[in-house]
Protein backbone atom coordinates (compact mmCIF):
# COMPACT_ATOMS: atom_id res chain seq x y z
CA UNK A 1 0.00 0.00 0.00
CA UNK A 2 1.09 3.55 -0.66
CA UNK A 3 1.37 5.98 2.22
CA UNK A 4 0.07 9.53 1.97
CA UNK A 5 2.98 11.90 1.33
CA UNK A 6 1.02 15.02 0.44
CA UNK A 7 1.34 16.73 3.80
CA UNK A 8 3.15 20.05 3.87
CA UNK A 9 6.06 20.87 6.15
CA UNK A 10 3.85 22.55 8.75
CA UNK A 11 1.59 19.52 9.13
CA UNK A 12 2.14 16.34 11.13
CA UNK A 13 2.99 13.27 9.10
CA UNK A 14 -0.12 11.66 7.66
CA UNK A 15 -0.57 8.01 8.52
CA UNK A 16 -3.50 7.33 6.22
CA UNK A 17 -3.25 5.24 3.08
CA UNK A 18 -2.67 7.06 -0.20
CA UNK A 19 -5.49 6.12 -2.56
CA UNK A 20 -5.30 9.09 -4.93
CA UNK A 21 -2.29 9.75 -7.17
CA UNK A 22 -1.71 13.39 -8.05
CA UNK A 23 0.62 14.76 -10.73
CA UNK A 24 1.84 18.35 -10.96
CA UNK A 25 2.90 20.42 -13.97
CA UNK A 26 6.46 19.10 -13.81
CA UNK A 27 5.19 15.54 -14.06
CA UNK A 28 6.06 14.59 -10.51
CA UNK A 29 3.60 12.13 -9.03
CA UNK A 30 2.66 11.56 -5.42
CA UNK A 31 0.16 9.40 -3.56
CA UNK A 32 -2.10 10.93 -0.98
CA UNK A 33 -5.17 10.29 1.09
CA UNK A 34 -8.36 11.93 -0.24
CA UNK A 35 -8.12 14.87 2.16
CA UNK A 36 -4.54 15.79 1.29
CA UNK A 37 -4.98 15.04 -2.39
CA UNK A 38 -7.81 17.56 -2.63
CA UNK A 39 -5.75 20.07 -0.73
CA UNK A 40 -2.86 19.55 -3.13
CA UNK A 41 -5.19 20.11 -6.09
CA UNK A 42 -6.17 23.45 -4.60
CA UNK A 43 -2.70 24.61 -3.65
CA UNK A 44 -0.47 23.23 -6.40
CA UNK A 45 -0.87 24.97 -9.73
CA UNK A 46 -1.80 22.62 -12.53
CA UNK A 47 -2.10 19.59 -10.27
CA UNK A 48 -4.55 16.91 -11.30
CA UNK A 49 -5.56 13.41 -10.32
CA UNK A 50 -4.08 10.63 -12.43
CA UNK A 51 -5.38 7.65 -10.48
CA UNK A 52 -8.10 7.19 -7.91
CA UNK A 53 -8.10 3.72 -6.40
CA UNK A 54 -11.52 4.33 -4.86
CA UNK A 55 -13.05 4.75 -8.32
CA UNK A 56 -11.12 1.82 -9.72
CA UNK A 57 -12.47 -0.30 -6.90
CA UNK A 58 -16.04 0.62 -7.79
CA UNK A 59 -15.57 -0.52 -11.36
CA UNK A 60 -14.66 -4.07 -10.42
Q: Which residue's CB is nearer to Zn ion, number 36 or number 47?
A: 36
Distance of closest approach, residue 42 Cβ to Zn ion, in angstroms: 14
The residue from 19, 22, 33, 40 that contacts Zn ion (CB under 5 A) is 33
Q: How far apart are CA 9 and CA 31, in angstroms?
A: 16
- Give 40's contacts (C-beta < 8 A, 6+ positions apart): 6, 22, 30, 32, 47
Residue 14 in the binding site for Zn ion (CB under 5 A): yes
The residue from 19, 31, 36, 40 that contacts Zn ion (CB under 5 A) is 36
Amino acid sequence: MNACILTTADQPHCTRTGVVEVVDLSGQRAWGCPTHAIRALRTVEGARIVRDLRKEGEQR
